[in-house]
Structures are given as C-alpha cells and as structure tokens.
Structure 1
Amino acid sequence: MTEVPSPQLRISDQNRESALSALGEHMTAGRIDIEEYGERSARITAAKTRGELVEIFTDLPAPHPRYDDAPQAVAAPEPAQETAPAPRQPGTPEGWTGPQRFLAAIVPLAFIAAIALIATGTLAWPIIFVPIGLTVFGKSMWGHDWDHDQRHRDRRDRHLHDRDRRRELRDSYRDRRRELGG
C-alpha cells in the first residue's frame, strides 16, 4: 500500500518549476488570463509545501505539478500519458528550454514588481524598462512568437474571422432593412 505524502512536506525548486510549467499550460489553454497567471505564479514561487501548491491548482484540471520524489502512484495520475507520451513541439510549453521557461515565468512577475515599486514610490518610473527589456531579450533570442503557441494564434485568427463574419451579417441586415423600409 502506497502512502500519500504529507501536504506539509517541503517542495524543491524542481517542484516549483513543474508547477509554473503546468500553470503556463493552463494559461495557454485559456483557463486563466495573464493577470491570474501572474498572481498564481507569484504564489508558486513563494510556496514552501506541497499543500500550498495543491491549493493553487484546486480549481484547475490536469496538468498539475509533478513531484519526482513521490511514489509512482502519486506522481502519475494518468497512466495513459506514461505509456503514450504526446510528441513535443517547438514553441509549446512542453518543448521550451529551461531559459525560455524561466523567462516566461519571470516576465509577468517583473511587470508586477515594477508596477508595485513605482506605485509605492520606492523606485522611479524607469524601473519599468527592466521587464520590457526582458521581453525584448526573449523575442530577440527565440523569435517573435516565443511566448505564444499555435493554439493561441489559431484562437486569435478564429476570433478575427468570427468578428468579420458578424460585421458582414450586421451590414447585410442593415441593407435589407433599408431596402424594405425605403
């Protein structure tokens, strides 16, 4: 019989990285927005125990953070994923390198910290150039779409197409009303 580790068990930096990666996948899937990602990622970096990480993911489906030091039954909630792992694609969170993951996690936190420091009067407004510089650095290193995946672009294109279609329908409806009324 396998025991479930205590929620009071301390977590490692690897556990935090796993949690940030899982959180990034939820943002990519559209389950959380960038503001909520910033809030939750700040909580992840401050978390000290497994219980604190579990609390951050209670309202989200899989993926959740992995604990490599846990027994296999606890670490892998979906055995099907172990037998047939999905292929990694460049540009998706699963295919990102360590520096890409780090930068993707740190940029929103840097923006939040810069805004907080400006708002409290601790530092002057030029501090905002730090997160902007990190973003520019990321784009110069990994291309324009280093922080977006194909699903995001497809969703944006679908949205634009739907918006154009609604405008066409609206205009045709107005034209028909004019013809009937005039």
Structure 2
Amino acid sequence: MTEVPSPQLRISDQNRESALTALGEHMTAGRIDIEEYGERSARITAAKTRGELVEIFADLPAPHPKYDDVPQAVAAPEPAAAPAPRQPAAPEGWTSPQRFIAAFIPLVWIATIALIATGVVHGALILVPIGLSVFGRSMWGHGGHQHRRHEHHVRDRERRRALRESYRDQRRGLDH
C-alpha cells in the first residue's frame, strides 16, 4: 500500500493549475460564487504546500487538485459512495460571455494586485477589476441567482393559486 505524502511537501505550478481547474468546476457547478472563487484562487496561487491546497478544498467534494507524483486514489481518497450525477459544465441558463467573465475576473484581480504590489503600475489600475466585477455582477443580477429567484416566484404564485382554489372549493362545499 502506498503512503499518503506529507502535507508539508511543496507543490508545483502544475499542481496549482490543477487546483485552479478544480476550483473553476466548483464555481460552474454553483458550489461557490465568483467572489469566493476569487478569494480561493488567490490562496491557491500563494500556496506552497499540499496541506495549504487541502485546506482550500476541505469543504468541497471532488474534484480536488491532482498531484503529478502520486496516483489520484492516494492523493485524495474519497469515501465509498454511489457516484454523484454528472454536473453540467455551467449553471443552466449561463451564456458563453457569462462563463468567460466568471473565469476572467478573478484572473484580472490577481494580475492587478500583483502589478500594483510590485510597483510596475500605479494604484489607479485597481479601477479596472472593480469595473469588470461590477459589469460581471450586472450580467447575473443581484447575487447571481436571478434565474432561480424567478423560478421560486413562479412556484410560489402557483402554490398560492392552488390554495385559493382549495379554499374556494371548501367554501362552496359549506354553502351547499
């Protein structure tokens, strides 16, 4: 049996790319929102050890980052369970531009912060990712759940209509 490597082992750029890919899948599946994606992706790019990556994915199901020197079954053991249904590539109703913006904005934030921190550009550049974030948020509506809110509204309206009809039927039965 192969031992699980120590969480103190250093990670490679390929491990970070694998982690960013896995995190993107969690965002498109709706497990995390775009702000959390930005926060976690910044932590991934700053991570140095496997333990740091494991901590970032601790509250998320598979997929997890893959390590190039360890078989996947050893790197991230999963509990024995029925396979989960395949998640769609993006939330239902998302257009290609929305998916692009959702993936692009965190990268712009990271690049902007890095350029400002190194002194390559002036701090006013921070207005670019702020503007892109506002634009991206407008593509999804408040909180990115506009489509689901509409579905809930329709379902609630139908439920109220059914209750009214039931009440009317009961009143008719009492009147006769």
In the alignment, the residues of structure 1 paired with residue 112 and residue 45 of structure 2 have an alpha-carbon distance, to the nearest angstrom, of 17
Instruction: Supply the AA of the counterpart residue of 2:50.
Output: R
2:108 aligned residue: 110
Q: TM-score, normalised by structure 1?
A: 0.55
1:163 aligned residue: 153
Whether contact under 8 Å (1:19, 1:65) holds in the other structure is yes
1:125–1:102: structure 2 CA closer, same or farther, 3 Å change rule? closer
The Cα of 1:49 is off from its aligned counterpart by 0.7
* Mapping 1:134-173, distance limit 5 Å: 157=147, 159-167=149-157
Identical residues among aligned pairs (%):
67
Give the alignment's Cα RMSD to 1 decimal. Answer: 4.7
1:62 aligned residue: 62
Q: Which runs of 5+ in 2 are unaligned?
A: 91-98, 117-121, 172-176
The Cα of 1:26 is off from its aligned counterpart by 1.5
1:45 aligned residue: 45
1:32 aligns with 2:22: no
1:21 aligns with 2:11: no
In the alignment, the residues of structure 2 paired with residue 168 and residue 102 of structure 1 have an alpha-carbon distance, to the nearest angstrom, of 35
Instruction: Supply the AA of the counterpart residue of 2:64.
Output: H
1:35–1:76: structure 2 CA closer, same or farther, 3 Å change rule? closer
In the alignment, the residues of structure 2 paired with residue 21 and residue 103 of structure 1 have an alpha-carbon distance, to the nearest angstrom, of 15
1:74–1:103: structure 2 CA closer, same or farther, 3 Å change rule? farther
2:174 aligned residue: none
Instruction: Supply the AA of the counterpart residue of 2:154.
Output: D
1:43–1:125: structure 2 CA closer, same or farther, 3 Å change rule? closer
SS of the residue aligned with 2:59? Answer: coil
SS of the residue aligned with 1:21? Answer: helix
1:156–1:102: structure 2 CA closer, same or farther, 3 Å change rule? closer
Whether contact under 8 Å (1:41, 1:105) holds in the other structure is no
2:128 aligned residue: 128
1:5 aligned residue: 5
SS of the residue aligned with 2:123? Answer: coil
The Cα of 1:105 is off from its aligned counterpart by 4.9
Q: TM-score, normalised by structure 2?
A: 0.56
In the alignment, the residues of structure 2 paired with residue 13 and residue 72 of structure 1 have an alpha-carbon distance, to the nearest angstrom, of 17
Instruction: Supply the AA of the counterpart residue of 1:166.
Output: D
Deviation readout 1:42-84 (Å, 9 max, x if unpaired): 0000001111100111111111111121145414646x9xxxx
